[in-house]
Amino acid sequence: MVTGGNNYKDKVSQLISWGHWFSFFNIIAAMLLGTRYIVHSEWPETILGQLYLGLSWVGHFGFLVFGFYILIIFPASFLIPSQRLMRLFAVLVGTIGLTALLLDTHAYESLDLHLSPLVWDLLLSGERTELNARWQYLFVVVPIIFLMQLILSEWLWRKLRKLTRKHVGVPIAAVFGLCFLSSHLVYIWADANLYRPVTVQRSNFPLSYPMTAKTFMEKHGLLDRQEYTKRLDAQGIEESERIRYPMDTLSFNDPGTGQNLLVVMVDSLRSDMVNNETMPHLAAFAQQNLNFSNHYSASNENSGGIFGLFYGLPGGYINSVRSAGYSPVLLDTLKKRGYEFGLFSGDAFATPIYSEAVFKDKPLPEQPSDTDKNNSDEQAIADWAAWLSEQKATSPWFGYIELASVENFEEGGDYVPQFTPSLGSTNLSATDTDTKLLLKNSYRNAAYHTDELLITIFEQLVASNNLENTIVIVTSNHGTEFNETGTNSWGSSSNYSKYQLKVPLIIHWPGSIPVETTRATSHLDVVPTLMESLLSTTAPPATYSSGISLFEKNPKRRWVLAGDSRDIVVLQKNTTTVVDKYGNYRVYDQNYKLKGEGKPKLSTLMQVMHELKRFYQPE
């Protein structure tokens, strides 16, 4: 029995020693495959960035492969008594691991994503695309990897005694351990100091989660969180990718129609508020003009929605545009055509995207700090009316009025409430239902008040004889939710349901026939519409926008794009697909309920991702 016990210990000891060397050579193989990530990624410009790249390359793949050894092969050495069977098991594990790594490198080169549920679903979808076909060819090398693992396994077993005598195991382990620890220490420093040559490498390698210590440093007075946040935002602008906007020089047929343009932005107004009860004047205006009743903002938050409307680009390009200092092509063209600009806001253009990008080169009106917010929309309209009266009939003008009463509905106002909630309990705060009713009715009251303001704008256009020569666009930057999805979502910026994305788009276009358009349209479509039909550009919309003209006949559109720098949102007829920057995805039905087996099509995702990169400068 003692002999048997010794034999078992000897076998296990040999297998463990063999496993260490087997893992070492697989680390080398993984590092060689890992050079594909380095080639495809941005090369760091500084010595410290290059040092971190080398340390993380050695340390990460060493830790990754050795981690799988500890979790799988090491315990199996105690459970599988046969050394041949054990080595075959290790060969299978090594083959699977290197194959997965090879597939991951290809996914990274093709999609800028590592293997994730989304990538695996696309890989196994069976959809016939060029990318899918290339992925399938990669499986041809699996027998080669398996054969090489078998040869390595046999050679190591034969040379095990000789290799063991060299006593180099500890120094090798120390090198990998030192590289791993050093890379994380460098990243902790770089993250706290926003040192981009290092932090930009965060997701270069698969399963890479560099260590940070901001909470610890803040707790011990080594980091100012507010100052850090400001620097982070500034860096996001300064270090963003270079953009080509427009992608080519624009050409024009003629000087355009010369019509005036007025855009009225009702902040946070969802589309279902445009009805005969809540906003009767706007509802009547919609019936008498062009009503795009299935319209979506470019984002569920202020900056993204405004950016999409003026630039015709998805929100992912915001930082690049801010960094380059580009003003919207639409506004540049209006300026060149001699349009007079009149900009008015009920909240003094508080959203930063106005001063940082959209109206960056134009003076914005300032309001006194003690201005009553409840009267600010009325003041903005009064200022616009005064400005309008000064405009010469021979010069076209562009007016922009931002109304903030709906967005600030919780602050109340001087207006008389039109709607009173019928509460189910005597205690107004007793239930979530009561809270929802109170908030939604306050919101409807603000919308009703805004409707009264809108009719004054329309009447002013009629009284000044401007309406018949003015294109009037009424829309919103995003919607507002009152937990209709049952996900504890209130307001905006919390999900991509229709309550937060679907907004009104009502256009008065002189000479047009009133019609309701029910096909899906987007904020990204407004710029192409105006550039083509108002300013007579002959350049294709793809040159300066991600949208298509609202007047396009029989548009071949399978999806509408929304989202921001964090999420890609694909809106289709009965589904909403949300993909984050790591490739994780969620598919929702028309009621924004998760679909258990919903999967995006590879061809659709490839088109969307191409659109999100199309305007970047080629390297």
How many whole angstroms separate alpha carbon 198 and alpha carbon 191? 8
Residue 320: the pLDDT is 85
Average pLDDT value for residue range 293-298: 95
- Per-residue DSSP letters for 596-619? TT----HHHHHHHHHHTTTTBPP-
> String of b and e for 106-128 (b: at least 16 CB within 10 Å)?
bbbebbebbbbebbeebbeeeee
Non-local CB neighbours of 303 within 8 Å, separated by 6+ positions: 315, 318, 351, 352, 353
**Could you report the per-residue pLDDT of 353-387, keeping only the tens digit for each?**
998 899 988 888 765 444 445 468 999 999 999 99
User: Taking 70 as the threshold, does the pLDDT of residue 4 lie above it?
Assistant: no
The strands making up 585-588's β-sheet, listed across from edge to edge, are 560-563, 567-571, 576-580, 585-588
Answer with the residue of higher pLDDT: 543 or 425: 543
Q: Are 264 and 454 in contact (CB under 8 A)?
A: yes
Average pLDDT value for residue range 575-588: 81
**Could you report the per-residue pLDDT of 302-339, keeping only the tens digit for each?**
999 999 999 999 988 988 888 888 999 999 999 999 99
Residue 370: the pLDDT is 46
> Which amino acid makes up residue 138?
L
Closest to 376 (Cα-Cα) out of 446, 292, 296, 283: 446
> Which amino acid makes up residue 328?
P
**Residue 341, φ and ψ in degrees, nearest 5:** -105, 135
Average pLDDT value for residue range 153-162: 87
**Could you report the per-residue pLDDT of 200-247, keeping only the tens digit for each?**
888 889 888 888 777 777 676 666 677 766 666 655 554 567 788 998
Residue 331: the pLDDT is 96
Least confident segment among 231-235, 520-524, 597-601 = 231-235
- At 260, list the tokens: 């005036």
- At 17, list the tokens: 């020693």
List C-alpha distances in Å: 385 to 248, 345, 414, 596, 611: 38, 13, 21, 53, 40
Under the banding of pLDDT at 50, 70 and 90, the label for residue 435 is confident
Residue 131: the pLDDT is 61
The predicted model scores a pTM of 0.76
Residue 425: the pLDDT is 43
Answer with the residue of higher pLDDT: 307 or 409: 307
List C-alpha distances in Å: 112 to 15, 105, 108, 203: 39, 9, 4, 10
**Could you report the per-residue pLDDT of 17-31, keeping only the tens digit for each?**
888 899 999 999 999
Give burial (CB, 10 Å; 0-12/13-18/19+) of 416: exposed
**Could you report the per-residue pLDDT of 533-562, keeping only the tens digit for each?**
999 999 999 999 999 999 988 888 888 999
User: Taking 50 as the threshold, does the pLDDT of residue 464 lie above it?
Assistant: yes
User: Taking 80 as the threshold, does the pLDDT of residue 250 lie above it?
Assistant: yes
H-type helices in 2-141, by residue range? 2-40, 47-68, 74-79, 83-111, 117-123, 130-138
Residue 122: the pLDDT is 66
Percent share of the chain, pLDDT over 70 = 86
Residue 515: the pLDDT is 96
Residue 255: the pLDDT is 87
Answer with the residue of higher pLDDT: 510 or 375: 510
User: Taking 80 as the threshold, does the pLDDT of residue 414 lie above it?
Assistant: no
3-state secondary structure 490-551: EECCCCCCHHHHECCEEEECCCCCCEEECCCEEHHHHHHHHHHHCCCECCCHHHCCCCCCCC
Answer with the residue of higher pLDDT: 98 or 170: 98
Residue 461: the pLDDT is 95
How many whole angstroms separate alpha carbon 268 and alpha carbon 447? 10
- Per-residue DSSP letters for 123-186? HTS----HHHHHHHHHGGGHHHHHHHHHHHHHHHHHHHHHHHHT--HHHHHHHHHHHHHHHHHH
Residue with tokens 């999805």: 485
Non-local CB neighbours of 524 within 8 Å, separated by 6+ positions: 298, 308, 312, 313, 314, 545, 546, 547, 561
Under the banding of pLDDT at 50, 70 and 90, the label for residue 448 is very high
Q: Are 160 and 11 in contact (CB under 8 A)?
A: no
Task: Report the relative pairing of strands 470-475 and 260-266 from DSSP bridges.
Answer: parallel
DSSP state of 424: S
Segments of 240-334 assigned E as strands: 260-266, 290-292, 295-296
User: Taking 50 as the threshold, does the pLDDT of residue 288 lie above it?
Assistant: yes
Phi/psi region, residue 502 (left: phi>0; alpha: psi -120 to 50; beta: rest), is: beta
Closest to 522 (Cα-Cα) out of 553, 563, 483: 563
How many whole angstroms separate alpha carbon 457 and alpha carbon 29? 70
Residue 427: the pLDDT is 43
In whole numbers, what is the pLDDT of the chain averaged over residues? 85
In angstroms, what is the C-alpha Rg of the chain?
A: 30
Domains of the chain: 2-238 (no CATH), 260-551 (3.40.720.10)
Answer with the residue of higher pLDDT: 395 or 1: 395
